[in-house]
Amino acid sequence: MSRKLLLLLLFFTLSVQASRALQLSPTARISLLTCEPGNEIYSYFGHTALRVHDPANKIDLVFNYGVFSFDAPNFVYRFAKGETDYMLAVQYFSDFMQEYIYYKRSVYEQEIDLTPDERQHLFDLLVENAKPENRVYRYNFFFDNCATRIRDRVEEVLNNKIIWAKETEKPVTFRNLLDRYVPGNTWAGVGIKMALGVPADKQITYYQKMFLPDYLSKDFAEAKVPRDSVDAQLCLPRTTIYEAPPKKFKPELWSPVNVIWTFFILVLALSVWQYRKKKAGIWLGFIIYLLFGIAGLVLAFLTFVSTHPATGWNLNLIWALPTHFLFAFILLIKPMREKIKGYHWFTAGLLVLFLVSMPLLPQTFHWLVIPLSLILLMRSGKHVLEDIRLRKNK
């Protein structure tokens, strides 16, 4: 991706330099482009860009606030921490469309009904924003992304006089909206949903929904602008530039649902057998506590280190305690096992309390949290029952 990005930025710089003093013709048009969600994790929620089309000046460019590079230093770490930098890049419209046609993602267009002066102002803002010293910005998925940047530029041109439509949908949260886009039975989808903490369950406003391209398109279509004592529509009717064929669902054998329930049945069978045969089953316990501990460390990082606004105070940490990671290795030390029985009691009690109180907690949980919690409860519960049996036999 780095070579493609470098070429894109080279063209982008040349385009900006060539456009600095350009006066758009009366036939110029600026429109909102809305792109259908894709299959990659970064494309789950669709995309938004602005098209500047001026046939008289032979201009047909797309201003795209959604450019980033996987090759940036420490990209994964910075992304998880919430320190990802995006940039505004300029592309030929034909090149922009070629990518979406290749990936079979529909593209729709809404012309923004601006006066010649407003179009020029918006174009000048975009050109200024696209300069090398201005093009990079700190990305924030909910509050500062490719959709909100476009909304903010259009509002600036119209002096914040846009009349947004009234809310007609029942109150929703960030989590409600993401659930409509994130696939529920993929590892990436389950990971995203479990990474969201209590802040994701707070109700959001009509205005805040525009971080999603589909909602931005819908709200632009319904918005109005005062024009000569009349409230005129902000956009002309939406048109289809490219309609992709319907997506076909392909069930995965190794999907989270299949893997977690298979693991649940396996742990249940082994735990019952080991309890009856008085087998310790240390390695099975080690694997379970290790996996849950790793999950806990990741969630703890997102909760206490990351600056992502919706990953704070994640109550999944109740069942995925980071301390499970350390405890897994202590289990392998035979002289220590007798001294850590209390941890099994603590874990089992905490899990029972969690499962009972889930409906009362201020966070919505992915339903797979239930079988996951039961897996750990079966393991810690086995040790608790063994401890009770041992005390009775003394």
Is 51:73 a contact under the CB 8 Å cutoff? no
Q: For the ranges 90-94, 266-270, 336-340, which has the lowest average pLDDT? A: 336-340
Listed by start position, the domains of the chain span 2-167+205-242, 256-393
Per-residue pLDDT for 290 more than 50? Answer: yes
Per-residue pLDDT for 7 more than 70? Answer: no
Segment 86-137, tens digit of pLDDT: 999 999 999 999 999 999 999 999 999 999 999 999 999 999 999 999 999 9
For the chain, give the mean pLDDT. 90
Phi, psi of 251 (to 5 degrees): -65, 140
Is 65:149 a contact under the CB 8 Å cutoff? yes
In which order are the strands placed within the sheet that holds 136-138? 136-138, 85-92, 59-67, 47-54, 29-35, 107-111, 239-242
Sorting pLDDT into bands at 50, 70 and 90, what band is 15? low
> Given this model, what pLDDT does residue 1 score?
38
The mean pLDDT value for 277-299 works out to 94
Higher pLDDT, 2 or 351: 351
Sorting pLDDT into bands at 50, 70 and 90, what band is 18? very low
Segment 58-72, tens digit of pLDDT: 999 999 998 887 666
* % of the chain beyond a pLDDT of 90: 71
Is 74:84 a contact under the CB 8 Å cutoff? no
> Given this model, what pLDDT does residue 45 score?
93
Q: Percentages helix, strand, coil for the chain, rounded to the nearest 5?
A: 55, 15, 30
> Given this model, what pLDDT does residue 5 score?
46
Identify the CA nearest to 295 among candidates 254, 256, 258, 269. 256
Alpha carbons 383 and 394: distance in angstroms, whole number: 17
Alpha carbons 40 and 38: distance in angstroms, whole number: 6
Per-residue pLDDT for 347 more than 90? Answer: yes
Amino acid at 321: L
Q: For the ranges 8-12, 96-100, 363-367, which has the lowest average pLDDT? A: 8-12
Sorting pLDDT into bands at 50, 70 and 90, what band is 14? very low
Per-residue pLDDT for 293 more than 90? Answer: yes
| pTM of the entire predicted model | 0.86
Q: For the ranges 19-33, 275-289, 373-387, which has the lowest average pLDDT? A: 19-33
Q: What angle do CA 308, 314, 318 make, to 5 degrees?
A: 155
Per-residue pLDDT for 349 more than 70? Answer: yes
Structure tokens at 393: 């036999």
The mean pLDDT value for 202-213 works out to 94
> Given this model, what pLDDT does residue 10 score?
46
Alpha carbons 64 and 366: distance in angstroms, whole number: 33
Per-residue pLDDT for 167 more than 90? Answer: no
> Given this model, what pLDDT does residue 75 score?
65
87 pairs with which residues across the strands?
67, 136
The mean pLDDT value for 202-210 works out to 93
Question: Is 111 strand, coil or helix?
Answer: strand
92 pairs with which residues across the strands?
61
> Given this model, what pLDDT does residue 252 score?
76
Per-residue pLDDT for 24 more than 90? Answer: yes
Segment 210-267, tens digit of pLDDT: 999 999 999 999 999 999 889 999 999 999 999 999 887 676 778 999 999 999 999 9
